Amino acid sequence: MSREASAGLPEARPTNPILISIGLISAAVLAYEILLMRLFSIIQWHHFAYMMISVALLGFGASGTFLSLTIRRLLRGFHLVYSINGLCFALSMVAGVLLAKEVPFNPLEILWDYGQWTRLLEIYLLLCLPFFFAANCIGLALSHFTDYIHRVYASDLLGAGGGALGIILLLYVLSPINGLKCLAVLAVAASAVSWLRLRGRPQWLVGMLAVIAVLLPFVLPGQWMAVMPNDYKGLSQALQVIGTHVIEQRSSPLGLITLVESPVIPFRHVPGLSLNTKTEPPPQLGIFTDGDALSVITQFNGDRSRLAYLDYVPSALPYHLIHEPRVLILGAGGGADVLQALYHGARQIDAVELNPDVIDLVQQDYATFAGGIYNHGPIRIHTAEARGYVAKTNYQFDLIQVALLDAFNASAAGLYALNESYLYTVEAIQAYLQLLNSEGMLAITRWVKLPPRDGAKLFATVVTALRQMGVDHPENQIMWIRGWQTSTLLVKNGLFSAKDIGIMRSFCDTRWFDVAYYPGMHVEEANQHNILDRNYFFEAASNLLSTARNKFIHAYKFDIAPATDDKPYFFKFFKWASLPELVALRGRGGLSMLELGYLVLVATLVQALLAGLVLILLPLIVVKRSGMISDGGWQQSGRVSLYFFAVGLAFLFIEIAFIQRFILFLSHPLYAISVVLTGFLIFAGLGSMFAGKHTLDSSIAGVLWPIGGIGLVALIYLIALPNLFVLFMPLPDVAKIAIALLLIAPLAFCMGMPFPMGLSRIAIVAPTMIPWAWGINGCASVISAVLATVLAIQYGFTMVIVLALCLYGMAAISYPCALARRGQPA
């Protein structure tokens, strides 16, 4: 083995404290990444979560480039360089967030003001610094302990796994900003441990690091650390109103809940309220999740007449068609839909809400204000994810209401385009319909957008669901009405009668709502009260029910193809073909129809591709031109880069795709992310250790075993997982988590091997290539995280997994064993 990289170093075997230090750095860096996603969901919107993944891995890529150009010099002072990087990681974590949140970036303005892109770049650079320093630590360790790459990589993965789980638990007890302080302390501790163990001089540095670690959380002024949502988010705008103030705030990994009182100018939040109503809602408290998505707790003193306004919204229609129904409300929020059901005399109400903090506010702290609606009477409240509850419950219902919980402005601006939603997929509709009694109804309310997007896509999804369930004439089971602001789609488990239609007409007439579709409707009945320049809704409904359905979906300028569990992007309406037209119409309102979320994702991908290209090619160009490194391996750089690039892409493709698959099974996005991420990282770490202990020879057969294993297990899962999920779905959560981990174990175990095996191979022939390979892997991951989402939106998660397997195949072909043969001295 070449000892160029570690020549003259006192030790080449990583002791346990060093491995712990590496693990701590990895834990902190992964936790930081998740924390950034949380912080930027509060400050901006959800789609920045993807950008944070990209930012993180950009730092890793940059580190690889930096190390490959400077590794010799840095390894001479390994102890000091490692510890300083650890310290810089800690400090830049805090400083990066503090500075980045002060950058006046406004994504809503991004298509008007190109200066916003510069601000975005500033945020990018500020936030990728900690990742750069952390990756330096790990890259240095990999280059220093060349004989023990598997152990270093295993520590890295095990630490990352612990970090993923730890931060989610931490966010239950600490706010994101206090969580950040904890991570900084962790990173300083990692730095101190390494300095102490590596017997670095001067020793007093350890004391200084310890002091920094202890003091860091206390020396930062509270004002600096305050996290304020974007000025254009609902909470910021509400707080500008006279007399409005925050009365309570609760933080959990599910979101930051802010309860707001507005005594001077009441909220009066009733989406879709008819203009022909004389009643005003009672006082309300506003609940904002992550500074947006307003829902309200309405004051209720038992006097139902105060709730009369709830009969003047489109979602009240089903209560006129079914008397005293047994109701299931999916997305109870602050209780508006529950009150509506109460007002209409529902005999039993089951309300499902994911966030326990929201339930707690209504059930405990503000129970008196809310009239104790979640505590007694015909109401049962369930803390669960909607699809999970639907899969488990044994009850049958007369009415299922899917509440409107997303904020109009964010929805209209396309900021939810990247949110996976399993509420509005073909499979979801089928699951709801199966819970309905005979003659029962499903009611889904969405915002009205012009030209129709949500409504049309929902209609297409419902028609597909019904057809797949064997319904020959779905047109007889659907009714669709719209007000000026919201529309409600009704699907009946049976046929709508003439009486139903008469009641619906009367309901609409008295409230100035329009009929968008009902069985046997004539075109002249549409567009009576809220007049559009075309019968958009009726035309969409008629076409989607006709034989020309696919042609219509294809020709429609927005993506209204039904969402499925494999492509759960209900809120993605963007079509590339419409882009030139919409951009040309910029000055005349065309931008209102562009989806920012999707465009930001694509911009992130382009940015990541460019950055990845530069970071991978730069060291290669410098090395080749300067001739400063004489390793024969550099001549085979194409093969090496292909191998590590393919492995980097494939690992994240599989990880992201399986997180999505497990969200449905574990019925909770947080369980899914923490279990899958932790499971993948820890089992991959164990796989890496196993590969180290049973070092396989340099032949391609060595790497074929794990890659073959990945292919086999993934293919089995592609076929068998849906059935396994259905089988195990009714089990308790703990059992499901255990099953999920068991399922992840063999796949992740194999996935942990190809990277350290490749790295060990090049450590033999060209150790100076290690940081470069590490950087390539980082760059591939940058691209992978974003590319996986782009591909999933376009082709579904199954395709992402298939592509990952192809990439592993490509890696097997380009495995650097050939390089070893050529590179070895004759």
572 lies in the site for another protein, by CB under 8 A: no
**Hey, which residues between 681 and 740 contact another protein (CB under 8 A)?**
none
Q: Which of residues 540-569 bind another protein (CB under 8 A)?
A: 540, 543, 552, 554-558
Give the nearest distance from C-beta 523 to another protein in angstroms. 14
Instruction: Return the closest-CA partner of residue 13 out of 193, 145, 143, 139.
Output: 145
Q: Binding another protein by CB under 8 A: which of 7, 77, 103, 112?
A: 112
Residue appearing with tokens 């499979």:
427
Cross-strand partners of 383: 353
State which of residues 529, 670, 721, 802 lies at the interface with another protein (CB under 8 A): 529
Residue 276 binds to another protein (criterion: CB under 8 A): yes
- With CB under 8 A as the contact rule, the residue among 226, 531, 719, 826 that binds another protein is 531
Q: Which is nearer to another protein, 202 or 243 (CB)?
A: 243
Q: Can you tell me which of 203, 224, 231, 546 binds another protein, judged by CB under 8 A? A: 231
The structure tokens listed for 79 are: 């102890």
Neighbours of 141 (CB within 10 A): 25
Q: Is residue 222 a contact point for another protein (CB under 8 A)?
A: no
Among 437, 592, 794, 798, binds another protein (CB under 8 A): 592
Both tokens of residue 257? 């809940």
The answer to whether residues 327 and 341 touch, using CB atoms and an 8 Å cutoff, is yes
Q: 243 near 260, Cβ under 8 Å?
A: no
Of 504, 420, 430, residue with least CA distance to 462:
430
Contacts with another protein, 496-525, as mask; x by CB under 8 A: ----------------x-------------
Could you give the string, one character per residue 347-366, with x where binding to another protein holds by CB under 8 A and - elsewhere?
A: --------------------
Q: What minimum distance in Å lies between the beta carbon of 185 and another protein?
A: 35
- Does residue 585 interact with another protein by CB under 8 A? yes
Confirm or reject binding of residue 588 to another protein (CB under 8 A). Answer: yes
246 binds another protein (CB under 8 A): no
Nearer to another protein, 195 or 447 (CB): 447
Q: Is 393 in the site for another protein (CB under 8 A)?
A: no
Taking the complex as a whole, how short is the minimal distance between the CB of residue 344 and another protein, in angstroms? 21
Unique residue bearing structure tokens 């989402």: 789
Nearer to another protein, 63 or 461 (CB): 461
Find the shortest distance in angstroms from Cβ 312 to another protein.
Answer: 9
Our CB check for another protein shows the closer of 476 and 592 to be 592
d(CA 626, CA 641): 20
CB of 114 to another protein, least distance (A): 11
Binding-site string for another protein from residue 420 to residue 449, where x marks contact by CB under 8 A and - marks none: ----------------------------xx
Binding of another protein by 408 (CB under 8 A): yes
- Please, what is the angle between helix 700-728 and helix 797-813, to 10°? 160
Could you tell me the end-to-end alpha-carbon distance of the chain, in angstroms, rounded to an integer? 14
Please name which of 815, 782, 638, 778 lies closest in space to residue 67, comparing C-alpha atoms.
Answer: 778
- Residues 530 and 593: their CA atoms lie apart, in Å, by 20
Question: What is the dihedral sign for C-alpha 317, 319, 323, 329?
Answer: positive
Report how many residues bind another protein under the rule CB under 8 A. Answer: 65
Stretch that binds another protein, among 180-188, 282-290, 323-331, 575-583 (CB under 8 A): 575-583
Nearest to 402 by CA among 461, 489, 307: 489
Asked if 308 touches another protein (CB under 8 A), the answer is no
Q: Based on the number of CB atoms within 10 Å of its own CB, is 304 exposed (0-12), middle (13-18) or buried (19 or more)? A: middle
H-run or E-run covering 517: strand 514-517
Does position 277 bind another protein by CB under 8 A? yes
The reply on whether position 245 binds another protein by CB under 8 A is no
User: Could you say which of 581, 606, 632, 695 contacts another protein (CB under 8 A)?
Assistant: 581
The H or E element spanning position 499 is helix 498-511
Choose between 235 and 608: whose C-beta lies nearer to another protein. Answer: 235
DSSP type of residue 283: -
* Binding span for another protein by CB under 8 A among 199-207, 214-222, 581-589, 694-702: 581-589
* Shortest Å distance, C-beta 411 to another protein: 10
Cis peptide before 356 (omega within 30 of 0): no
User: What secondary structure does DSSP assign to 635-674, as a single string?
Assistant: GGHHHHHHHHHHHHHHHHHHHHHHHHHHHHHHT-HHHHHH
153 binds another protein (CB under 8 A): no
Q: Is 109 in the site for another protein (CB under 8 A)?
A: yes
* Residue 595 to residue 711: CA distance in whole angstroms: 36
Nearest CA-CA partner of 648 in 605, 602, 612: 612
**Residue 583 interacts with another protein (CB under 8 A)?**
no
Contact 24, 190 (CB under 8 A): yes
Choose the stretch contacting another protein; rule: CB under 8 A; options: 147-155, 265-273, 636-644, 757-765.
Answer: 265-273
Write out the two tokens for 409: 């402005």
| Cα 636-637-638 angle, rounded to 5 deg | 95
Contact with another protein (CB under 8 A) among 108, 180, 403, 650: 108
E runs forming strands in 571-610: none
Q: Which residues pair with 248 in a beta bridge?
A: 259
Closest by CA position to 640, among listed 469, 775, 797, 470 = 775
* Among 223, 240, 305, 547, contact with another protein (rule: CB under 8 A): 240
Give whichever of 240 and 723 is closer to another protein, judged by the CB atom: 240
- For residue 90, what are its two tokens? 């800690």
Q: How far is the CB of 572 from another protein (least distance, A)?
A: 15
The verdict on 451 binding another protein (CB under 8 A) reads yes
Instruction: Check: CB of residue 326 under 8 Å from CB of residue 398.
Output: yes
Nearer to another protein, 55 or 448 (CB): 448
Calpha distance 508→523 (Å, rounded): 16
> Rounded to the nearest whole angstrom, what is the least distance from the CB of residue 404 to another protein in the complex?
13
Which residue, chain included where needed, has tokens 């490749």? 758
Residues 288 and 286: their CA atoms lie apart, in Å, by 6
* Identity of the residue, 591 or 670, whose beta carbon is nearer to another protein in the bound complex: 591
CB of 306 vs another protein, minimal distance in Å? 16
CA–CA distance from 487 to each of 215, 272, 281 (Å)?
A: 55, 8, 20
Region for residue 257 given its phi and psi (left: phi exceeds 0; alpha: psi -120 to 50; beta: otherwise):
beta
Question: Of these, 237, 363, 383, 393, which contacts another protein (CB under 8 A)?
Answer: 237
Beta-carbon count within 10 A of 450 CB: 13
Closest contact distance (angstroms) between CB of 418 and another protein is 18
User: Which of 252, 299, 409, 430 forms a contact with another protein (CB under 8 A)?
Assistant: 409
Nearest approach in angstroms of CB 642 to another protein is 40
Determine the interface stretch with another protein among 229-237, 321-329, 340-348, 754-762 (rule: CB under 8 A). 229-237
Residue 111 Cβ vs another protein, minimum distance, rounded to whole Å: 8
Q: Is residue 484 involved in binding another protein (CB under 8 A)? A: yes
Residues 6+ apart with CB under 8 A from 347: 324, 325, 326, 378
Contact residues for another protein, defined by CB under 8 A: 106, 108-109, 112-113, 231-233, 236-237, 240-242, 264-266, 268-270, 273-278, 280, 408-409, 412-413, 448-452, 484-485, 512, 529-534, 536, 539-540, 543, 552, 554-558, 577, 581-582, 585, 587-593
